Amino acid sequence: MFLKITSAERMKNTEKRRIDSMKVTISVIKADIGGFVGHSHSHPDILKYADELLSAAKDEKTVTDFHVAHCGDDLELIMTHGKGVQDKGIHALAWDIFTKCTEKAKSMKLYGAGQDMLKDSFSGNLKGMGPGFAEMEFEERESEPLIVFMADKTEPGAWNLPLYRMFADPFSTAGLVIDPKVTKGFTFEVHDVKKNRSITMSTPNQSYQLLSLIGTPSRFVIKHVFRNLDSEIAAVSSTERLGLIAGRYVGKDDPVMIVRAQSGFPAVGEILEPFAFPYMVAGWMRGSHHGPFMPVSQNDAKPTRFDGPPRVLALGFQLCNGMLGLPSDMFSDPSFDLARQKANEITDYIRRHGPFEPARLSSDEMEYTTLPQVMKDLEGKWNRLD
């Protein structure tokens, strides 16, 4: 039996298919433009202002949808649009919002207002300007769940361990063993942030080589992950290192990351599983200490103890024709209570080391903190040992 479809319905279906097959870009762009109080939190008036500015951009159709969040003192702009990654207009919009929020933060005498705005004016792209960004473009699937991770008081390499566990460790992601779309593994693009070069490695074949690099997260940082089956993008992180851009200590990079979930990607629970272990990251107080990475809800994304411990926030979205819709606060779940408790125990333990390594970063990494300025005072005061 034939179903009769009217031409209006046919047009509606064609339009629906056009929307269904449209490419969507998600851009997560962040900057510390001023803290409340100190470096611990973001002022609600700033978050409201950023929301208003992005609302206007949505009205003007510059972005399709957006969500404003904060992780500690970092303002996080989560935006969708159809313009591809590193789009001049989207980067200019983010720069403009950070500039306006910096002005407001200055007028409110918030702490470190404009901290991450390393350049005076925008020149076409946010690369090397201070703000961090993670962006990906893809064809929206029939259902497109994704998770945006945001961190405070740590560096971009902090995503190395969970990315490896999500996309290359079957003890964490059961799909690597069970799901035929996933068993071919994933390819990792790793950036050497000190030598400004990149390399790609495919797992499981090159797992050990990959680990030999990414085990040094201060230097080797996973930028992208692609699915081997069809080269589809699976994850992207922000890799900007503020200290390397500015040539001096200007606070921690506090990276962001986007991960696609389900139907041939790791499941939501497989993506979150690595964070049930509060592994050690570099950053924390004065960007100079190791501390446990504590998974928290949006409400608890305000590091206070010894300016920490470093926090990770995860907001899940269920994209719908480019619209982000409501965020789901993924770590607002009692099953992460033990990770938080363990992080507090580790905090007590490692803090007792005071200024000693390994609580304090190794001297190599201290090069990018304010310690070298202190060491200058000792120059010329040393006696040679024969």
Interacting span for ligand F6R (CB under 6 A) from 48-56, 118-126, 229-237, 280-288:
280-288
The nearer residue to ligand F6R, 115 or 172, going by C-beta atoms, is 115
Task: State the number of binding residues for Mg ion (CB under 5 A).
Answer: 10
Q: Does 153 help bind ligand F6R (rule: CB under 6 A)?
A: yes
Out of 116, 155, 307, 365, which residue is the one contacting ligand F6R (CB under 6 A)? 307
Out of 38, 44, 84, 124, which residue is the one contacting ligand F6R (CB under 6 A)? 38
The nearer residue to Mg ion, 138 or 306, going by C-beta atoms, is 306
Among Mg ion, ligand F6R, none, what binds residue 38 when CB lies within 5 to 8 Å by partner kind? ligand F6R
204: nearest Cα among 186, 226, 181? 186
Binding to Mg ion in span 105-144, by CB under 5 A? 112, 115
Q: Does 191 help bind ligand F6R (rule: CB under 6 A)?
A: no
The nearer residue to ligand F6R, 83 or 305, going by C-beta atoms, is 305
Binding to ligand F6R in span 241-260, by CB under 6 A? 251-252
**Are the C-beta atoms of residues 156 and 239 closer than 8 Å to each other?**
yes
The answer for residues whose C-beta is within 8 angstroms of residue 29's C-beta and 6 or more apart is 76, 77, 79, 90, 91, 94, 126, 131, 132, 133, 135
Interacting span for ligand F6R (CB under 6 A) from 13-21, 54-62, 278-286, 331-339:
278-286
Binding to Mg ion in span 247-266, by CB under 5 A? 254
Has 194 been annotated as catalytic? no
Has 249 been annotated as catalytic? yes
Interacting span for ligand F6R (CB under 6 A) from 116-124, 236-244, 283-291, 377-385:
283-291
Among Mg ion, ligand F6R, none, what binds residue 286 when CB lies within 5 to 8 Å by partner kind? ligand F6R
Out of 26, 33, 35, 213, which residue is the one contacting Mg ion (CB under 5 A)? 35
List, edge to edge, every strand of the sheet that includes 132-139.
Answer: 65-71, 74-81, 23-31, 132-139
Least distance to ligand F6R, CB of residue 49, Å: 22
Q: Does 365 help bind Mg ion (rule: CB under 5 A)?
A: no
User: In which region does residue 125 sit, left (phi positive, over 0), alpha (psi from -120 to 50) or beta (all else)?
Assistant: beta
Binding to Mg ion in span 64-83, by CB under 5 A? 72-74
Q: Which of 252, 254, 302, 307 is catalytic?
A: 252
Angle, helix 160-168 to helix 207-214, in steps of 10 degrees:
170
The nearer residue to ligand F6R, 266 or 287, going by C-beta atoms, is 287
Cα gap 80→60, rounded to integer Å: 14
Q: Which of 249, 253, 254, 307 is catalytic?
A: 249
Binding to ligand F6R in span 105-144, by CB under 6 A? 112
290: nearest Cα among 275, 274, 278, 299? 278
Out of 30, 31, 36, 39, which residue is the one contacting Mg ion (CB under 5 A)? 39
- 295-312 burial, b at 16+ Cβ within 10 Å, e below that, comes to bbbbeebbbeebbbbbbb
Q: Does 32 help bind Mg ion (rule: CB under 5 A)?
A: yes
Has 252 been annotated as catalytic? yes
Q: Which residues bind Mg ion (CB under 5 A)?
A: 32, 35, 39, 72-74, 112, 115, 152, 254
| Interaction site with ligand F6R (CB under 6 A) | 38-39, 112, 153, 251-252, 283, 285-287, 307
Residues with catalytic function: 32, 249, 252
